């Protein structure tokens, strides 16, 4: 069997704020699995918001350095929700990239970079 990606961890500084933000942007409530972890099923891969302090760990979270990409059916709807969600930074509009993906970039309130892509335009490199 080939390796399968099943979970991506996003470090967050406040699990309650993270669960509200991602519930709003993703349009699904997810599931609290511990005091400092909230999981969102994103097509079989779990997006795990992780607040180490709330989970009893003794280190500060640091934002991921590079983007996590999401393919979505309703890019315009996700963009509208992102505009209202309190992003740390949000690109000014949806754009079509040179590789033909229609997408927008943002940073969550904790500095994690994300990209949302229209599922009909996802480019996988061939």
pLDDT digits (tens, 9 = 90+) for 61-118: 999 999 999 999 999 999 999 999 999 999 999 999 999 999 999 999 999 999 999 9
64 CB burial (10 A radius; 0-12, 13-18, 19+): middle
End-to-end CA distance of the chain: 23
pTM (two decimals) = 0.95
Indicate if the pLDDT at residue 14 is higher than 90. Answer: yes
Pick the CATH number of 7-121 from 3.10.129.10, 3.40.50.1580, 3.20.20.70, 3.10.180.10: 3.10.180.10
Give me the pLDDT at residue 126, please: 76
Q: How far apart are CA 3 and CA 8, in angstroms?
A: 14
Specify the 3-state DSSP secondary structure of 45: strand
Q: How far apart are CA 119 and CA 57, in angstroms?
A: 37
- Eight-class DSSP state of 35: T
Q: Are 113 and 66 in contact (CB under 8 A)?
A: yes
For residue 75, what is the enclosing H or E element?
helix 75-85
Tens-digit pLDDT profile for residues 34-71: 999 999 999 999 999 999 999 999 999 999 999 999 99
Q: What are the sequence ranges of the domains in the chain?
A: 7-121
Q: How far apart are CA 112 and CA 106, in angstroms?
A: 8
Q: How far apart are CA 46 and CA 56, in angstroms?
A: 22
Phi and psi at residue 94, in whole multiples of 5°? Answer: -75, 140
């Amino acid at each position: 069997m080939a390796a399968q990606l099943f979970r991506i961890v996003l470090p967050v500084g406040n699990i309650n704020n993270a669960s509200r933000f991602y519930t709003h942007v993703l349009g699904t409530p997810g599931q609290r699995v511990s005091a400092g972890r909230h999981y969102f099923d994103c097509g079989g891969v779990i997006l795990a918001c992780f607040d180490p302090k709330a989970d009893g760990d003794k280190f500060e979270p640091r934002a991921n350095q590079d983007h996590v990409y999401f393919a979505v059916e309703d890019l315009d709807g996700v963009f509208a929700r992102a505009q209202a969600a309190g992003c740390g930074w949000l690109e000014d509009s949806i754009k079509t990239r040179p590789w033909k993906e229609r997408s927008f970039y943002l940073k969550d309130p904790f500095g994690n970079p994300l990209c949302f892509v229209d599922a009909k335009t996802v480019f996988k490199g061939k």
